[in-house]
Structure 1
Amino acid sequence: MLDAAPFHAELADGPEGACAYWLRAEDGLRLRLAHFPGPDAAEGTVLLFPGRTEYVEKYGHVARDFAARGFHVLTIDWRGQGLADRLLEDVQTGHVHLFADYQKDVAAMLGAVDALGLPRPLHLLAHSMGGAIGLRALTRGLPVAAAGFTAPMWGIRMAGPMRPAAWALSWSGARMGMGHFYAPSTGPGSYLSRTAFEGNVLTTDRASWDYMLRQVTEAPELQLGGPSLRWLHEALAECLSLSRQPSPEVPCLTYLGSNERVVDAARIRARMGRWPGARLEIIQAGEHEVLMEDLVTRGRIVSQLVAHFRQAAEAARTQARA
């Protein structure tokens, strides 16, 4: 039995009946899960893996689009963000002890699928940092019929000369007891709360920007600032490790904005180029948050993902009958 957790339904503006639950990872950390219900005769459930700094309410509109097309959505506040347990005294710091710890959150999320009686097949939709967590989970046998990614963090964008410096600084900081310090040029406070819409790296759509800004303004406990040196080191190491892994045998559809300025677009193109049968879609003039672009763009992406999920589910049923 899952315990009810706080949920800002008005700020999420998702499908009717959405609610949140507390759950525990195997190491005891408390996480928050949100279930956005689909129709009674739903076709399956989308496991939505959010990015760094994100929280379940952010995906209310996306979940509403999936519900209208026949799918439940289950999403999570990863450890250290949203209303999940924060890991440092400065709760604004984005921190993780080991990147592998996120897989404990994935395991807890999978357990909740059965506890909530959600319909299968399951499908993965992962954004940014969630894309790294999701790819690792797929290599470990995540039981999904298909995968979708938006701007997955399979590498972190930085100028060439900065990469070795970032490795050195994050490694030495972690080793010298400074892993809890903010990474250079970052600090407390949500990116949304300290940045103007003009020139932002997330979205070109003002309505979506205002939707996200209202959430972190009216519920400031959802805010998260910059990453810690420890998080940076763990993220760089995980991206490098993932780059050496073969692509999973799971149907994959990935989206990337042509103006991506947060994650490493070259790493995404390289991965998709060696993922048999996978497809990469470029959103022209899109920024990092392609699901937070205008209504037409978001609708097109969700419709394509639904078709992708349906095709994979039908292929699995055909194979099972053979």
Structure 2
Amino acid sequence: MTTLRFTESNPAPDIAADGHVETPDGFSVRYARFRADANPVKGTVVILQGRNEFIEKYFETISDILDAGFDVVAFDWRGQGGSQRFFRRIDSGYVDSFEQYAIDLDTVFEQIVLPDCRPPYFILGHSSGALAALYTAPAYVNRIRRMVLSSPFLGLPASDFKHGATRAVTKMMGFLGLGNLYVYGGSAARLRKPFEINPLTSDSDRYARNTSVLAEHPELAIGGPSASWVSAAFRAIDVVSDPEHMARTTTPTLVLMAGAESVVSNAAIETLTTRLRSASLLTIDGARHELMQEADIYREQFMAALLAFIPGSGAEPGLPAAGSSD
């Protein structure tokens, strides 16, 4: 029996397998694996979703990647989507540390990607998923050929004072045992904004599609970020911004930035990309935060950049060539 949720407005690609894997620290993480018809296949793309996202939201993008000749693996981070939550009654976006996300990714890689998916391997990360990709990148230098990062969460689009105040307040809330409380946004129901004021996409049809999935399957939704989650994100940003960590992040990386961004800090993205020797930056002018959910005029630019950057030349040392059956 499948773990995925289907709606009429969100057609699913063919599913090779889905279910749950258990992490070493006891969390049940939902995954889905999709297999391309191409022969030979170009490799496998592992999707690292953003906060408050879920596998079903990526069905359209997964279909496009399959059509381009890649296999795909997607999964829900612990605490969101169809994976195990931290609390029974609270739907706040919660995590203690990005080390827990690192455990989720390693579990999926060891139990699903390596035994069942065709190399070479690529990462496609969005927002906080892109931050998780950068956080774990040094550990995957010999496994991941290339990374594509969409609107990475590397800071808030706020003044230095507000940024610093948010960091201090969320850290103090955790110290006082209040880490599971919302920082902003509130419950999942309160988080659903009318299309006209949403900061995520200018495409009304895709916005309605994603909203309808959650309306029919509210169990997939979570509310605003908790103090603990925000504090963990700040600590992860400190790690990926550290010169020693960046020196060990050598995987070729394409960063795509939304020109009309209002959810994450474009200035922080530009700063880190400039300092990270393995990365290059492309701005999609006029686009909002969710590039894969945007209007065609922006989304097509994103997909073209993604598929031009992978699978790469095969020149990366220590990695199998595209189309390899090893």
Measure how far apart 1:13 and its partner are: 1.9
Residue aligning to 2:57: 58
Query: How far did residue 264 of structure 1 move?
Result: 1.4
The equivalent residue for 2:31 is 33
Residues of 2 paired with 1:161 and 1:317: CA distance? 44
Q: Which deviates further from its counterpart, 126-135 or 193-202?
A: 193-202
Counterpart for residue 97 of structure 2: 98
CA shift, 1:16, in A, is 2.2
Summarize the Cα distance change of 1:249–1:264 in structure 2 as closer, same or farther, 3 Å threshold: same
What SS does the aligned partner of 2:148 have?
strand
Q: Is the 1:24–1:108 Cα contact (8 Å) retained in structure 2?
A: yes
Map 1:1-322 onto structure 2 (within 5 A): 5-10=2-7, 12-17=10-15, 19-41=17-39, 42-111=41-110, 112-115=112-115, 117-142=116-141, 143-183=143-183, 185-189=184-188, 194-244=192-242, 245-246=245-246, 248-276=249-277, 278-312=279-313, 314-316=314-316
Q: Which whole-Å deviations, capped at 9, do the CAs of 1:23-50 have from their partners, x for residues lacking one?
A: 0111110010011221242210001000
Shift of 1:202: 0.3
SS at match of 1:198: helix
Label 1:246 to 1:190 Cα distance change in 2 as closer, same or farther (>3 A).
Answer: farther
- State the AA in 2 paired with 1:295: D
SS in 2 for 1:316: coil
The alignment partner of 2:229 has SS state of helix
Equivalent residue letter for 1:311 = G
What amino acid does structure 1 have at the position aligned with 2:259?
Answer: S
Unaligned stretches of 5+ residues in structure 2: 322-326
2:324 is matched with none
Aligned partners of 1:44 and 1:120 also within 8 Å: yes
SS in 1 for 2:20: strand
Q: Higher relative contact order by CA 8 Å / sep ≥ 6: 1 or 2?
A: 2
Q: 1:169 to 1:306 in 2, by over 3 A?
A: same
Q: 1:277 to 1:242 in 2, by over 3 A?
A: closer
Once the 2 structures are TM-superposed, how far is the Cα of residue 317 of structure 1 from its aligned partner?
7.7
Conserved in 2, the CA contact under 8 Å of 1:5 and 1:22? no
How many pairs align?
314
Compared CA separation, residues 190 and 65, structure 1 to 2 (3 A): farther
CA 1:45–1:177: 2 relative to 1, 3 Å: same
Amino acid at match of 2:289: H
Alpha-carbon distance change, 318 to 33 in structure 1, aligned in 2, over 3 angstroms: closer
Q: Which moved more, 1:13-22 or 1:201-210?
A: 13-22
1:320 to 1:102, Cα distance in 2 relative to 1, 3 A: closer
Deviation for aligned residue 1:163: 1.7
Query: Structure 1: which 5+ runs fail to align?
Result: none
Name the aligned partner's letter for residue 316 of structure 2: A
The residue identity in structure 1 corresponding to 2:175 is R
> Once the 2 structures are TM-superposed, how far is the Cα of residue 194 of structure 1 from its aligned partner?
2.5
CA 1:316–1:157: 2 relative to 1, 3 Å: same
What is the Cα deviation at residue 54 of structure 1? 0.5
TM-score by length of 2: 0.90
Q: Shift of the alpha carbon at 1:140?
A: 2.0
Q: Deviations over 1:92-122 (max 9, x none)?
A: 111112221110001111021134x211000
Q: Distance in 2 between matches of 1:40 and 1:285?
A: 34
Over the residues paired in the alignment, what is the CA RMSD in angstroms? 2.1
Q: Distance in 2 between matches of 1:81 and 1:320?
A: 33
SS state of the match for residue 140, structure 1?
Answer: helix
Specify the SS of the correspondent of 2:134: helix
**Displacement of 1:296:** 4.3
